[in-house]
């Protein structure tokens, strides 16, 4: 009887271990970032085009020195300065970021929306 219970317990543990290893349970960190972004701010088609063309090349890739889109720890100190200061940094350029983030046809509202998007609206 005890061997039967032991066998069932081992089988149950094996099934749990296999379920834990299933690829369905693996969450991609980029998907987590995207999901966090979408929870707060969703860009319209123009905003998304601007982000993908001008911002993502630095703010969407780890190791560039730019704060990562959706990563609160990268933005916390910057966000404390407020939206106006962050907008001024974008307009004037900062470190390796060129003025206007190279989006010379962007208006202030579009840039503010991009800032909100990249910071998860935590400004």
Domains of the chain by residue range? 45-119
Express as a percent the part of the chain with pLDDT over 90. 63
State how far the Cα of 83 lies from the Cα of 3, in Å rounded to an integer.
67
The stretch 2-28 carries a mean pLDDT of 45
At residue 6, the 3 state secondary structure works out as helix
Are 120 and 72 spatial neighbours (Cβ–Cβ below 8 Å)? yes
pLDDT digits (tens, 9 = 90+) for 22-57: 444 444 445 444 544 444 688 999 999 999 999 999
pTM exceeds 0.85? no
Give the single-character DSSP code of 68.
P
83-92 vs 72-79: helix axis angle to the nearest 10? 100
CATH H-level superfamily of 45-119: Cytochrome c-like domain (1.10.760.10)
Q: What is the DSSP string of 83-104?
A: HHHHHHHHHH-BTTBPGGGG-T
């Amino acid at each position: 009887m005890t061997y039967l219970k032991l066998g069932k317990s081992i089988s149950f543990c094996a099934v749990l271990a296999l379920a834990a290893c299933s690829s369905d349970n693996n969450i991609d960190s980029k998907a987590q970032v995207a999901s966090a972004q979408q929870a707060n701010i969703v860009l319209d088609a123009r905003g998304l085009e601007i982000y993908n063309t001008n911002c993502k090349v630095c703010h969407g890739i780890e190791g560039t020195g730019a704060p990562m889109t959706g990563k609160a720890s990268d933005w916390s100190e910057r966000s404390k300065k407020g939206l106006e200061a962050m907008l001024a940094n974008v307009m004037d350029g900062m470190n390796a970021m060129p003025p206007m983030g190279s989006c010379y046809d962007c208006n202030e509202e579009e840039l503010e929306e991009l800032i909100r998007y990249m910071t998860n609206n935590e400004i």
